[in-house]
């Protein structure tokens, strides 16, 4: 059984819940990513922030990304996968929650992210197509 730990992209960098969206956007640019985990002062995962969140939930709504904090966009309990959970479970979680990225948790610690690309590189093509189609619909 292939596990989330085996296919994830490790070393995920967080944006702090008290950091501004402008800081988060700069970090996304530097890392060349479209999303970042939001971590609290306790280093626990609070949510995920996407570049789309910054544009739609802040800028388009008249907010100022230089003053709005990342934690303000962390809503609800984040969807995650355990480090030792199977790739099949990761796929089912992505499908059921319609997410393209899953934070990988070991205990309470964020250790990486699984993206559709990680799955595409490590799973049979027919299952990958099914995942992409389901999430994108």
Q: What is the pTM of this model?
A: 0.83
Position 11 scores a pLDDT of 86
The string of DSSP codes covering 6-38 is: HHSEE-PPPEETTSBHHHHHHHHHHHT-SEEEE
Position 133 scores a pLDDT of 65
Residue pLDDT tens, the chain, 137 long: 889 999 999 988 999 999 999 999 999 999 999 999 999 988 789 999 999 999 999 999 999 999 999 999 887 788 999 999 998 899 899 989 988 899 999 988 899 999 888 888 887 776 666 666 655 65
Split into its structural domains, the chain has a count of 1
Position 107 scores a pLDDT of 87
Residues 6+ apart with CB under 8 A from 111: 5, 8, 10, 12, 83, 104, 105
Position 12 scores a pLDDT of 87
* CATH code, domain carrying 16: 3.10.580.10
Position 99 scores a pLDDT of 87
Residues of the domain holding 74: 4-136
């Amino acid at each position: 059984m292939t596990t989330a730990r085996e296919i994830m992209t490790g070393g995920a960098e967080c944006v702090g819940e008290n950091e501004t969206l402008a800081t988060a956007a700069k970090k996304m640019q530097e890392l060349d990513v479209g999303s970042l985990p939001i971590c609290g002062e306790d280093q626990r995962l609070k949510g995920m922030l996407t570049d789309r969140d910054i544009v739609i939930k802040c800028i388009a709504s008249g907010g100022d990304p230089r003053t709005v904090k990342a934690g303000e966009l962390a809503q609800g309990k984040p969807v995650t996968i355990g480090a030792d959970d199977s790739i099949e479970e990761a796929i089912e979680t992505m499908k059921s929650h319609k997410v393209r990225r899953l934070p990988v948790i070991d205990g309470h610690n964020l250790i990486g992210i699984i993206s559709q690309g990680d799955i595409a590189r490590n799973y049979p093509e027919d299952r990958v197509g099914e995942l992409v189609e389901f999430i994108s619909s």
